[in-house]
Amino acid sequence: MWLLCHSRNPPITIAGIERQSLEDLVEEMYGVLDIDEMSIEEVLLRVKRYNELMGDVTPSKELAVKEWKGRNGLVLGMGGQQDLHERLCREIDGIGDCMFGT
């Protein structure tokens, strides 16, 4: 969520995330993760429920950057087609250097 919120300037709340953007990112990451116990439809439903509960929140960029290796870094390290995920990581102001060494 934090990527989609902080890819805007100024950052937006979870409620402001466009549905299609959220679905695209979840589907891309789902394709990389080994989730046998849940279908993509179930994952999307859970993410949408989370959005409803946390709609007024803007996730902490500072915390996400601090935990990047165990979050986004872990998923990106799994390989696979993650163009949107990687692009969002690279576009967030101030994280490119510490995440990708660029």
Domain residue spans of the chain = 2-90
pLDDT of residue 100: 59
pLDDT of residue 28: 95
Return the half-sphere exposure (C-beta side, CA atoms, 13 A cut-off) of residue 71. 14
pLDDT of residue 32: 93
State the residue for tokens 């989730």. 35
Per-residue pLDDT of the chain (102 residues; tens, 9 = 90+): 899 999 988 999 999 999 999 999 999 999 999 888 999 999 999 999 999 999 999 999 999 888 888 888 899 999 999 999 999 988 886 666 556 554
93: left (phi over 0), alpha (psi -120 to 50) or beta: beta
pTM, full prediction: 0.85
pLDDT of residue 95: 64
